[in-house]
Amino acid sequence: MAKYKISEGNFDKFLSFFGIKKDDRPKNIDDIIASDPKLAKIDRELGDINRAAAETIRRSPQLRKMFKDAGLDY
């Protein structure tokens, strides 16, 4: 099967073959997450996990040093 490349200028035309209009596509990932209840739930759960991990890092001098040595902001 031959391979085809779609240029950026023809991408909207390509999507129109599948019934997807440019105005119907989400603008960014936050819109996709907000419109899907399952993804929104996962996003909230990941936020909770991140907050708990940040609190663990703040309490542990060894973890703070490890992150600082790696050049990461915690």
pTM summary value: 0.51
Q: How far is CA 13 from the centre of its chain?
A: 26
Tens-digit pLDDT profile for residues 23-33:
666 667 888 88
How far apart, in whole angstroms, are the C-alpha atoms of residue 66 and residue 10?
Answer: 48
How far apart, in whole angstroms, are the C-alpha atoms of residue 74 and residue 70?
Answer: 11
Tens-digit pLDDT profile for residues 14-67:
777 666 566 666 667 888 888 889 989 999 999 999 999 889 888 999 988 888
Retrieve residue 48's tokens.
């909770």
How far apart, in whole angstroms, are the C-alpha atoms of residue 25 and residue 16?
Answer: 11
Residue pair 40/33 in contact (Cβ under 8 Å)? The answer is yes
